[in-house]
Amino acid sequence: MKVLIVGGVAGGASAAARIRRLDENAHIVMIERSGYVSYANCGLPYYVGGVIEKQGELTLQTPESFHKRFNIDVRARHEVTSINTDEKTVTIKALDSGKIYTETYDKLLLAPGAKPTIPVLSGIESERVFTLRTVEDTLRIRRFVEEHRPRNAVLAGGGFIGLEMAENLTEMGVSVTIVQRPKQLLKPLDEDMAAFVHAQARSHGITLRLGETVTGFRQQNDEVLTLLKDKDPLHADMVLMAIGVTPDTHLAKDAGLDLGTRGSIVVNEKMETSANDVYAAGDAVEVRHFVTGEKTLISLAGPANKQGRIAADNICGGNSRFNGPQGSMILKLFDMTAASTGINEKTAQTLGIDYDKVVLSPESHASYYPGGQVMVMKILYEKKTLRLLGAQIIGYDGVDKRIDVLATALRAGMTATELTELDLAYAPPYSSAKDPVNMAGFIIENLEGEKVRQFHWEQVEDLPHDGSAILLDVRTKGEYQRGHLEGFVNIPLDNLREHIDELDSDKPVYINCQSGLRSYLACRILIQKGFQCSHLSGGFGFYRTVTREHQMVHSIYPCGMEKA
């Protein structure tokens, strides 16, 4: 069996190695347009910043080592220019010599990946405007940084690459400005959770120009001007385009394969395309989201590697199936970690899913053990079935552990209340006896059992301030004086019982505290005394961060917030 693989990075390289493990006699040819195979896309920004010091550490295998270990014919700097699915041939061009030749195949795997999305803008061909997708891109940027020592940079786009490059350039002493049309960074997060990412970026000197549109570039002596719609241009020594990626599927299109979302390659669960004996995997393929069942694109290394392995199994006569990604992601931004899995509120609303959410701020490990740090967790679940829909976490320690637990629970089909049953490892340096994931389950269990009601940060401005309700802040006097919600009266939790007789039980009570724990306890006290009570999900700390960032992005003063 002769297998041709187009693309030698995540999907292609994993498929090639898997085919060899399954079939020692297969003739495997891997064609890669760049000069590198099996390299770590996700590590590229860290090489620019010098965190990864040696260029060789970016490549898991070289063409030579890949051939030696797996006996695979690796042809770097070769490009497939056309595919004939009827004759089962491909046309290949050797980029260094210019030679054009034809290869036959029994099975063909397309793993061309995605390419940086480059809009049609004036001046984008400037030598000071960069993209980052391949090792060659990385070497070019690092060479520029070392030779020119830029003082400032503009990054067009605030996704994974944009934020990772922002961090690395900032650590090198470069003044960074991020510009993008959407009014938040990190699309997988909701606006309220992204607020913490915004605050982190600003605290490290990164300027955010959100809700602004780049219209072009103009080189001016040793700097490049980023032109903005209805705004003054930004002056910088370099620009990085990081507005996203587009499936690289021109070969598939020209070969007559069925295409789907944004021109991606349509495949079934076995990674088979619409053409016989042609498979596809990685960032170029359309997938069905595990949570929603909707067709979508998810450009992440994990799914690409899994798809490559599944395609390899089926190429070798197996019956493996890819059941869809859920978009689990994690990002380091200086000392902060942002992570998510499943879907967010925006997606749930777009699809009309009847969902609820909880926000909590537990510590990463037992509070009495030194070094614990607060993380903010947001869990979404479907109201009727209680199935988990998604989770988002922002924090400094232990975020990776919790997002992976939640991703596993979601994959396993656990309900939100079943999170209470997870038997997770505990020792004071690592967790609490009630792990943050367990705590999320307890909160949901309380809501579903009608032990408490909640209201959210975006509902604060709609609370009744006309005396028809009791607005209560149960934090300490000092906390209250440092900032509080407009109209909320301070009665610390520990003094609440002695003041209950002063409250009108005919009026609904809305309570807030710093994180949501004390307000829950206060609600339990009042509910058992005949009050109708709701508390602020996430607490005042969550509300303050979200509304302050909302103010900066939308240029309005947050409703209900008093100046501290």
Convert 400-429 to b/e letters by CB count within 10 Å (16 or more is b). Answer: ebbbebbbebbbeebbbbbbbeeebeeeee
DSSP sequence for 25-43: T-EEEEEESSS--SB-GGG
Cα 379 to its chain centre, rounded Å, is 15
The span from the CA of 239 to the CA of 123, in Å, is: 11
Within 10 A of 98 (CB to CB), how many other CB atoms are there?
7
Strand order in the sheet with 27-32: 73-76, 27-32, 2-6, 107-110, 278-280
Please give the structure tokens belonging to residue 96.
């260094």
Catalytic residue among 42, 513, 523, 559: 42
φ/ψ of residue 11, rounded to 5 = -65, -45
**What distance in Å separates the CA atoms of residue 395 and residue 374, rounded to the nearest whole number?**
6
Q: Would you list the DSSP string of 434-483?
A: S-HHHHHHHHHHHHHTTS-EEE-GGGGGGS--SSSSEEEE-S-HHHHHT-
Q: Which helix (H) or strand (E) holds 522?
A: helix 517-527
What's the CA gap between 399 and 332, in Å, rounded?
10
Edge to edge, the sheet with strand 207-210 lists: 129-131, 238-241, 152-156, 175-180, 207-210
CA atoms within 13 A on the CB side of 299: 24
Q: Is residue 108 a contact partner of residue 27, using CB atoms and an 8 Å limit?
A: no
Q: d(Cα 193, Cα 392) in Å, to the nearest integer?
A: 7
Which residues are 295's β-sheet partners? Answer: 288
513 is catalytic: no
Which bin fits 516, alpha (ψ -120 to 50), beta or left (φ > 0)? Answer: left
3-state secondary structure of 49: coil
Alpha helices in 332-398 (DSSP H): 345-350
Cα separation, 308 vs 340, whole angstroms: 23
Residues with active-site annotation: 42
